[in-house]
Amino acid sequence: MMKLLPQNMESRKTWEKVKEEFGNTEMIFIAFGNPGESVYEPATLTSLRDFTAALEAIPDVEEVISMASMNRMDSEDGFLEINELLPDRVLNANQLEEIKAYLENHPNVKNRVVGQHGDFLSVIVRPRDGASNDILAKKLLAEADIYLGAYETHFGGAPYLTGVISELIRSDVLSLVRVGMIVMVIILLLNLRSIPAVLMVLSVILLSLFAMTGSMGWIRGLTGSDKFLFTLMNTSMPIILLTIANSDGVHVIAKFFKKFRQTENKREAVRQTMDALMLPIFLTSLTTAIAFLSLIFAPIEVMTGYGVSIAIGITWAWILSSLMLPSLIMLKSWNISSRALTSTSILEQFANTIGKIVLQYPRKVLMSGLTIVIVGLAGIFWLNVEVNIQSFFKKGTEIRESLEFLDREMLGTMDMQFYMQGDMKSPEVLNQMVELRKFLEEKPQVSSTLSIAEVIQQMHRSVMDDDPVFETIPDSREKVNNLFTMYSMSGDPDDFSSLVDYDYSSGLTTTMLRNMSSSEIVKMVGETEEFVANELGQNTRVTITGMLVVFRDLVRLVVRSSFISIIVSIALIALIASLFFRRLIWGSLAVVPLVSAVILNYGMMGIFGIDLSHITAILSSIIIGVGVDFAIHYVFQFRRMAHHGISKDKLSREVVDD
Q: How far apart are the first and last CA of the chain?
A: 48
Banded pLDDT at 187 (limits 50, 70, 90): confident
- Percent pLDDT > 70 in the chain is 95
Residue range 464-476, pLDDT digits in tens: 888 888 889 998 9
pLDDT for the residue 625: 63
Average pLDDT over residues 62-87: 85
Averaged pLDDT score across all residues of the chain: 85
Residue range 94-129, pLDDT digits in tens: 999 999 998 888 888 898 889 988 899 999 999 988
Banded pLDDT at 369 (limits 50, 70, 90): confident
Average pLDDT over residues 356-365: 83
> Looking at 159-163, 464-468, 622-626, which range is the least confident one?
622-626
153 touches 50 (CB < 8 A): no
Q: How many other CB atoms are there within 10 angstroms of residue 274's CB atom?
A: 21
Q: Does the pTM exceed 0.95?
A: no
pLDDT for the residue 206: 92
**142-147 LR contacts (CB < 8 Å, sep 24+):** 143/51, 143/54, 143/55, 143/58, 144/30, 144/32, 144/51, 146/54, 147/47, 147/50, 147/51, 147/54
Average pLDDT over residues 195-220: 92
pLDDT for the residue 617: 65
Residue range 239-278, pLDDT digits in tens: 888 888 888 888 888 888 888 888 888 999 999 999 888 8
Higher model confidence: residue 298 or residue 314? 314
pLDDT for the residue 151: 93
The structural domains of the chain, with segments of one domain joined by +, span: 163-382+553-657, 400-545
Residue range 326-338, pLDDT digits in tens: 999 999 988 877 7
Residues 5 and 23: their CA atoms lie apart, in Å, by 20
Q: How many other CB atoms are there within 10 angstroms of residue 268's CB atom?
A: 13
Residues 446 and 416: their CA atoms lie apart, in Å, by 10
Please report, as a single letter, which amino acid is at residue 104.
E
99 touches 40 (CB < 8 A): yes
C-alpha separations of 457 from 108, 313, 467, 470, 545 in Å: 12, 60, 11, 8, 25
- Percent pLDDT > 90 in the chain is 22
Banded pLDDT at 647 (limits 50, 70, 90): low
C-alpha separations of 44 from 112, 165, 634 in Å: 17, 30, 71
For 358-399, list the strands marked E by DSSP: none
> Most confidently modeled of 302-311, 569-578, 609-618?
302-311
Q: Which burial class, exposed, middle or buried, applies to 197 when counting CB atoms under 10 A from its CB (0-12, 13-18, 19+)?
A: buried
pLDDT for the residue 572: 81
The closest of 306, 311, 272 to 288, measured between CA atoms, is 311
Residues 420 and 507: their CA atoms lie apart, in Å, by 5
Higher model confidence: residue 23 or residue 485? 485
Residues 202 and 181: their CA atoms lie apart, in Å, by 9
Higher model confidence: residue 93 or residue 11? 93
pLDDT for the residue 393: 78
**529-536 LR contacts (CB < 8 Å, sep 24+):** 531/436, 531/439, 532/418, 532/436, 535/435, 535/439, 536/432, 536/435, 536/436
Residues 189 and 387: their CA atoms lie apart, in Å, by 40
Residues 360 and 297: their CA atoms lie apart, in Å, by 43
77 touches 142 (CB < 8 A): no
